[in-house]
């Protein structure tokens, strides 16, 4: 990565301070490792000069949205979409958004309400054009709204229409056993003819998609370089290479240690010992 500019340095420090110090006091679900991955992706985008909005479907109290918001550069805007108190549309009970708490959390991190367009509605009732009026094309978007097959499919469609070619969509709960319909909706979407979004990385509870194969390769390579201690391996999915990043555990650290990773026999012995000690 090129030398960090003062503007990028300030952005990364804001994001890191939030996910290391402040995020724990915001209700919601965001693994520290995934917060670091999102921060790194935002840094890659800013370094490359990629300009665009950010947004999230499924806000809850703003735990991940605030991280996206803190990546905003000058003249960039954001959207936050959730049914909030209108829980009749939360048909799978996959969260309990609260607009008042969300706005209070935004204020706590120094957020400017004028840079956030709030859509208090069901994502199936909004169009990509509606969201684009608020933000323009997006460079970074999170989908963590309804966890049914149809809603997941709908929200990925919105994401594909809104994202820049080098933009990234972060989809929550694809491999969470509580929400198998998320995987059904995501995979149905990806397998439809003409769809561009393809996965390029997985981290705890997050799957990352991009439309551009070359951009996906750059993100994947940069993440592998930045987080060797999290790397579990790579797989091919839907014709795309996908980097798998796990949690910081002793087993993972042993697996990726320079003295171990090139010695399979030593890794097997140490791994078996560590599992016995659990």
Residue 206 and residue 143: Cα distance in Å, rounded? 10
The pLDDT of residue 263: 72
Query: Does residue 193 share a domain with residue 61?
Result: yes
The answer to whether 73 touches 39, Cβ cutoff 8 Å, is no
The pLDDT of residue 1: 47
Query: Does residue 275 share a domain with residue 226?
Result: no
Q: Tell me which of 77 and 273 has the higher pLDDT.
A: 77
Q: Judge whether 77 lies within some domain.
A: yes
Q: Judge whether 1 lies within some domain.
A: no
The pLDDT of residue 48: 94
Using a CB cutoff of 8 Å and minimum separation of 24, what contacts does 237-241 make? Answer: 237/198, 237/199, 238/190, 238/191, 238/198, 238/199, 239/198, 240/198, 240/199, 240/200, 240/213, 240/216, 241/200, 241/217
Query: Does residue 135 share a domain with residue 268?
Result: no
Query: Does residue 201 share a domain with residue 256?
Result: no
Which segment of 82-86, 100-104, 245-249, 272-276 scores lowest on mean pLDDT? 272-276
Task: Residue 24: give its domain's CATH number.
Answer: 3.40.50.150
Query: Does residue 218 share a domain with residue 141?
Result: yes
Q: Judge whether 196 lies within some domain.
A: yes
Is residue 272 predicted with pLDDT exceeding 70? Answer: no
Residue 56 and residue 159: Cα distance in Å, rounded? 10
Residue 256: give the domain boundaries.
Answer: 248-278
Query: Does residue 257 share a domain with residue 201?
Result: no
The pLDDT of residue 7: 79
Total of domains in the chain: 2
Query: Does residue 165 share a domain with residue 36?
Result: yes
The residues, ordered by sequence, that sit 6+ positions from 181 with a Cβ below 8 Å of its Cβ are: 92, 147, 148, 149, 152
- Structure confidence by residue, pLDDT tens digits, 111-159: 999 999 999 999 999 999 999 999 999 999 999 999 999 999 999 999 9
Is residue 81 predicted with pLDDT exceeding 90? Answer: yes
Query: Does residue 268 share a domain with residue 146?
Result: no
Query: Does residue 270 share a domain with residue 198?
Result: no
Query: Does residue 30 share a domain with residue 47?
Result: yes
User: Average per-residue pLDDT in the chain?
Assistant: 90
Query: Does residue 155 share a domain with residue 276?
Result: no
Query: Does residue 45 share a domain with residue 101?
Result: yes
The pLDDT of residue 5: 80
The stretch 210-229 carries a mean pLDDT of 97
The pLDDT of residue 269: 73
Q: How confident is the model at residue 258 (pLDDT cuts 50, 70, 90)?
A: low
The stretch 153-166 carries a mean pLDDT of 98
């Amino acid at each position: 990565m090129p030398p960090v500019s003062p503007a990028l340095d300030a952005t990364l420090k804001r994001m890191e301070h939030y996910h290391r110090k402040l995020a724990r006091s915001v209700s919601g679900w965001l693994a520290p490792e995934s917060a670091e991955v999102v921060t790194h992706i935002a840094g890659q985008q800013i370094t490359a000069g990629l300009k665009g909005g950010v947004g999230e479907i499924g806000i809850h109290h703003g735990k991940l949205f605030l991280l996206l918001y803190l990546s905003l550069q000058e003249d960039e805007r954001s959207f936050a979409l959730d049914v909030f108190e209108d829980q009749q549309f939360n048909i799978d009970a996959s969260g309990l958004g609260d607009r008042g708490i969300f706005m209070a959390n935004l204020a706590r991190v120094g957020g400017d309400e004028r840079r956030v367009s709030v859509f208090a509605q069901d994502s199936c009732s909004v169009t990509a054009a509606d969201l684009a009026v608020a933000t323009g094309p997006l460079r970074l978007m999170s989908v963590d709204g309804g966890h049914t097959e149809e809603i997941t499919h709908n929200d990925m469609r919105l994401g594909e229409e809104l994202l820049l070619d080098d933009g990234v969509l972060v989809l929550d709960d694809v491999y969470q056993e509580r929400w198998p319909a998320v995987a059904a909706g995501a995979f149905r979407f990806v397998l439809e003819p003409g769809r561009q979004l393809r996965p390029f990385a997985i981290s705890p509870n997050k799957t990352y998609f991009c439309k551009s194969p070359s951009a996906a390769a750059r993100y994947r390579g940069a993440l592998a370089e930045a987080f060797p201690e999290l790397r579990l391996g790579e797989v091919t999915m839907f014709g795309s290479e996908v980097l798998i990043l796990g949690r910081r555990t002793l087993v993972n650290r042993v697996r990726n240690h320079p003295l171990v990773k090139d010695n399979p026999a030593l890794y097997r012995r140490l791994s078996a010992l560590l599992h016995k000690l659990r």
